[in-house]
Amino acid sequence: MPTDYSLSLTELKNGLSVDSRCYPDLQAMMDACRADGLSPVICSAYRTQEYQEKLFQNKVDRLIAQGYSEADAPVEAGKSVAVPGTSEHQLGLAVDIVDINNQHLDETQESTAVQKWLMEHSWEYGFILRYPNDKSEITGIIYEPWHYRYVGHEDAEQIHSLGVCLEEYLEGVS
């Protein structure tokens, strides 16, 4: 992220914040999901550089404790926790959404009614499932069925209709 990057944040009811540009669409998506009888919970949104550094270092420390070398641990950590300065959460455009009855950030999310709804409808609100199951080799990040990124309505519709991840889409339009 550029050192001079600035954003305007809007605080959510739960105290988390998002980039103000995506707030109306996020609110509409959450309201529509709830209107269909579901209970989505935003468990992570905007993160500061300091908080991202803490998350990353915690993951590195856990991997070293598991036997990874000091050189290999940060590389492995970067597959599941964004390297500070590269996290979409630091942009305020990414949210982690879970089902109220399953608040674990793991693959069990994909079988919840909330995730099924979001995977089907998020693009209608300008959001995409950022790290799809079959795209880890391209994104460099593990499958995260809870991580949604705001890209705007037009791009989200294109990404959805093409069945591609953000990297593939950006490569195709550049």
- Give catalytic residue positions: 144
Q: How far apart are CA 115 and CA 93, in angstroms?
A: 18
Phi-psi sector, 105: left (phi>0), alpha (psi -120 to 50), beta: beta
Phi-psi sector, 8: left (phi>0), alpha (psi -120 to 50), beta: beta
Q: What residues contact residue 74 under an 8 Å CB cut-off, 6+ apart?
A: 56, 60, 83
Both tokens of residue 131? Answer: 């790290």
Q: What residues contact residue 48 under an 8 Å CB cut-off, 6+ apart?
A: 90
DSSP summary character for residue 83:
P
